[in-house]
């Protein structure tokens, strides 16, 4: 119960932060990666609600999906391997 309440606070603050970034950068999508994305709806439901309440111009701005990363925790390792392949001679 305490963990769920803490996660709700974190999700709310993350949603507010994402709204600030969307207000400034106007991305087409926001991808949440790392272990935090594994919390699923416990994270994403309050995150999206806080985002919707905080984003400016929601009625005229295209919807910005907030989604978990497909590669989860493997994204860093895969990116490093691709970078090494691109840098390898021949």
Tokens 């907030």, residue located: 66
For the cut 90, the answer to whether the pLDDT of residue 39 exceeds it is no
In 3D space, the residue among 87, 26, 13 whose CA is nearest the CA of residue 54 turns out to be 13
**With 0-12 CB in 10 A as exposed, 13-18 as middle and 19+ as buried, what is 28?**
exposed
Confidence class of residue 50 from pLDDT cuts 50, 70 and 90? very high
CA atoms within 13 A on the CB side of 73: 4
For the cut 90, the answer to whether the pLDDT of residue 13 exceeds it is yes
- Please, are residues 46 and 11 in contact by the beta-carbon 8 Å criterion? yes
Give the residue-averaged pLDDT of 37-49: 92
In 3D space, the residue among 79, 4, 85 whose CA is nearest the CA of residue 45 turns out to be 4
């Amino acid at each position: 119960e305490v963990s769920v309440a803490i996660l709700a606070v974190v999700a709310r603050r993350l949603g507010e932060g994402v709204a600030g970034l969307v207000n400034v950068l106007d991305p087409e999508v926001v991808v949440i990666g790392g272990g935090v994305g594994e919390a699923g709806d416990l994270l994403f439901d309050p995150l999206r609600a806080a985002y919707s309440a905080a984003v400016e111009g929601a009625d005229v701005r295209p919807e910005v999906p907030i989604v978990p990363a497909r590669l989860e925790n493997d994204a860093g390792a895969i990116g490093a391997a691709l970078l090494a392949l691109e840098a390898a001679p021949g």
